[in-house]
Amino acid sequence: MPVASVEAVAEQIIDNGSAMGAGLRILVDDDEPRVLELVPPILADHTVDTAIHGGEGLRRLAEADYDIVLSDWVMAEASGLEVAAEARARQADTVIVLMTGWDPGGSADAQDAVDLRLAKPFEREDVERVMREAVSLLRQRRGDAQAGDAPAVAS
């Protein structure tokens, strides 16, 4: 699914230090190159790795533990749900965000595997909102001390 207004999102990337906990390790896994170009700069206060398909996402997960995983649902080699399951198996408190233009509806697999959903097409503000929610959830799971420092986001 195409990401709406990706150029508009790219133009809005200015560092103003608001909204999301800093210093987290985040994986962005999507088969759309534009998503991989545009989402990481929004998360500039974090360590961000990218993967161009589910298989690469699984390889990244084998190399490092992630605090938050943002993954597309439908990808080559492994689905976002497979990536989510592996991330959760490696680190139970990892927050999983499913990025998709598809409506998971009543899919029990999707409901159980992910914590949050970022509907495509999305805007910068949508990424910031879901990241605030993800950081809040991570803080609840770990306690404030381990889930990032003072709020910060490049916007």
The pLDDT value given to residue 110:
54
Alpha-carbon gap, residue 51 to 49, rounded angstroms: 7
Q: Mean pLDDT, to the nearest integer, of 12-41?
A: 75
Domains of the chain: 6-146 (3.40.50.2300)
Q: What is the pLDDT of residues 47-78, one digit of tens each?
A: 999 999 999 999 999 999 999 999 988 888 98
The pLDDT value given to residue 113:
74
Measured between alpha carbons, how far is residue 48 from residues 28, 39, 82, 111 in Å?
A: 7, 9, 20, 25
The pLDDT value given to residue 126:
95
Q: Which alpha helices (DSSP H) does 12-155 contain, by range?
A: 33-42, 54-63, 80-90, 108-113, 124-142
- pTM of the predicted model as reported, rounded to 2 decimal places: 0.77
The pLDDT value given to residue 6:
42
Q: What are phi and psi of 15, to 5 degrees?
A: -80, 115
In this structure, what token pair is assigned to residue 49?
Answer: 């790795």
Ramachandran class of 32: left when φ > 0, alpha when ψ lies in -120 to 50, beta otherwise: beta
Alpha-carbon gap, residue 61 to 91, rounded angstroms: 10
Residue 49 β-bridge partners: 27
The yes-or-no verdict on residue 104 having pLDDT over 50 is yes
Burial class (CB in 10 A: 0-12, 13-18, 19+), 66: buried
In this structure, what token pair is assigned to residue 108?
Answer: 């029990």
More confident residue, 136 or 4: 136
The pLDDT value given to residue 112:
67
Q: What is the pLDDT of residues 114-146, one digit of tens each?
A: 899 999 999 999 999 999 999 999 999 988 645
How many beta carbons lie within 10 A of that of residue 152, not counting itself? 19
**Tokens 């088969």 -> residue:** 31
Per DSSP, 146 falls in state G
The pLDDT value given to residue 109:
55
pLDDT band at 108 (very low <50, low <70, confident <90, very high): low
